Amino acid sequence: MATPFSFVFLLLFSLLPSALSQFNISGLLIDCGVNTSYTDDRNLRWVPDSPYITSGESKNLSTPGLSTTFSTLRSFPFNASRPRKFCYTLPSYRGARYLVRTSYFFGGPGVPPVFDLIVDANLWTMVNTTADYVAGSASYYEGVFQAKGKFIIVCLAGNPNYTKGDPFISSLELIMLHNSVYNATDFDTMAMGLIARSKFGATGDIEGYPDDRFHRYWQPFPDKKHAKTSTHNITTSFFWNLPPQDVFNTAIVADKGSPLAFQWPQLVSLQNSTYYVALYFADTVLGKSRNLAVYINGYQFYDGSVTSNGTVVFSSAWILSGLTTVTLAPGSGSSSNLPPLINAGEVFGLFKLQNLTTTRDVISLQAIKQLINNPPEDWTGDPCMPPEYPWTGVTCTFDSRIRVVSLNLANMGLTGKISPSIASLTAIANISLAFNDFSGDIPNLGQLNYLKKLDLQGNQLTGSIPESLGSIRTLRELFLQNNNLTGQVPSNLLNNTKLNLRLHPGNNFSPDPPVP
């Protein structure tokens, strides 16, 4: 029988670099919709979201008994005919690995909307909080990403294929991880989305900070019949994923002489794909050890010994599908009379990262945005990616490189100036800024060798027509009427028989060329 994994690692006292003792946790905790910063009962500092986003509407919830974090939210307008993404821009260190967690509590009225969650250029997951809301609970989504630059971009987007409602968010957390955590994943090409993180045999509340220094949530996985607790402390700083000590103090233990099978993750049917699976073990009796075997959906995941010092076994590429069953059984050749056990587990979905828009085009569009006084509110994040949610007015191609090929901002009530950086969109074929209120000069666009149409009519542009426009051999339409242009019209434009040139009315050229 083929085994559904590429490799499995055993980590027993995997010593980390000494730099761990000097590593400071860096985190940004954002309470969406709140007006002022505050410190919660764990002594964690939460800040407003307004410095990190320029769109959306903050709302206060009237639901009684809510914590401060869930008493406000930010919502974003849904448009079925023009789906848009709305993005938080979070400061980061290039190459650093981050835990990203978004949390949600709807508060009513009606049914929560379902929408898309995006990180950088990647369509991460669908956010569906309906079941949790009906149960009176909040929802959260957690993933692990590597920063590709100075910012990590987290976006929400209304998807008309789901429901017709405004996307919303209650809180957003960005926690920098130590470089040992989950380091078997190639974060240059992949990211991880949490499916389940469980503390087996535990009851009560979720375990998190300060027990887990990285703010990870460990959900209790109760089993009254098989639960067992212990009190010996394990030095978890020796484990690469740095779990909190307390996850080794509870376990579920099989009956002596019998295997134990249970469904985990519970009530989750997984898509046929590759997953990261990490399982944590420690003998509950100090100084003892036992042999055990672990099977996932009938395939052997581990067969070996477990001591009271703790063991972590993980695979960075295990194939799962449908409902998942974990089976604990005595290990092969076991001489121990102690039954098998398990303390904790994590499972993440792995997904391939998408390419970003060509850097040159991104820089150009950012410069264009800077000179527009009232740019479209969805002009944040990647301009072209994911393909379902490009910036308003931006059209792209998705060949070997992702390039901007059209910019159409006509009739949008925009004011400001046309940035000279528009000339850096060297793959562009169509530019339309018509019927706005742009002022200033027409920039030099002579290097746009693929430009076919330039429509600047109906603005407040001044100065003369750049002669360089006449050097664009591909140009077939040039509409400049209803501006305040002056000077001479370049002869290379007037003599171009292939060009549809419109200059009148509204301009004051000398000499005034004839009306075509």
Structural domain includes residue 227: yes
Residue 265 gets which letter from DSSP?
S
CATH number at residue 388: 3.80.10.10
**Facing residues of 125 across strands?**
117
Domain identity same for 348 and 363: no
pLDDT on residue 20: 38
Of 30, 132, 139, residue with least CA distance to 88: 30
Q: Which of 150, 177, 204 is the last residue of a domain?
A: 177
Together in a domain, 204 and 343:
yes
User: What is the structure's pLDDT at 2?
Assistant: 38
pLDDT of res. 516: 66
Distance in angstroms (rounded) separating the CA atoms of residues 217 and 215: 6
Pick the last residue of a domain from 321, 352, 383: 352
CA torsion through residues 311, 224, 330, 324, sign: negative
User: Which pLDDT value is given to residue 257?
Assistant: 82
Do 365 and 329 reside in the same domain of the chain? no
Q: Clarify whether residues 217 and 323 are in a common domain.
A: yes
What are the φ/ψ torsions at residue 395 (nearest 5 degrees)?
Answer: -120, 140
Q: Which CATH number belongs to the domain containing residue 50 in this structure?
A: 2.60.120.260
CA–CA dist 370, 367 (Å, integer): 5
Q: Where does a domain end: 317, 352, 387?
A: 352
Q: Do the domain assignments include residue 189?
A: no
Co-location of 398 and 449 in the same domain: yes
**pLDDT at residue 5 in the model:** 43
Enclosing domain of residue 324: 194-352
pLDDT of residue 334: 62
Same domain, 126 and 57: yes
Q: HSE-up of 393 (CA within 13 Å, CB side)?
A: 21
Domains in the chain, number: 3
pLDDT of residue 105: 97
Is residue 444 classed exposed, middle or buried when 0-12, 13-18 and 19+ CB atoms within 10 A define those classes? middle
The predicted structure's pLDDT at residue 37: 96
**CA angle (127 as vertex; 48, 151 as ends), nearest 5:** 45
Same domain, 166 and 277: no
In a shared domain, residues 227 and 168: no
Q: Where are the beta strands (DSSP E) in 222-298?
A: 227-229, 250-253, 260-263, 270-281, 289-296
The pLDDT assigned to 511 comes to 82
Give the mean pLDDT per block of 10 residues along the chain (516 residues): 46 38 67 96 94 96 92 95 95 96 94 96 96 94 96 96 94 95 95 97 93 95 92 83 93 92 94 96 88 95 92 94 96 79 97 95 98 96 96 96 98 98 98 98 96 98 95 96 95 93 93 74
- Whether residues 204 and 341 share a domain: the answer is yes
Q: In the beta sheet, which residues pair with residue 175?
A: 27, 99
pLDDT of residue 18: 37
Assigned domain for 516 exists: no
What distances in angstroms separate CA 106 from CA 71, 134, 137, 162, one per listed residue? 10, 10, 10, 16
Q: The pTM is what?
A: 0.91
Residues 75 and 90 placed together within one structural domain of the fold: yes
Residue with structure tokens 């709302």?
59
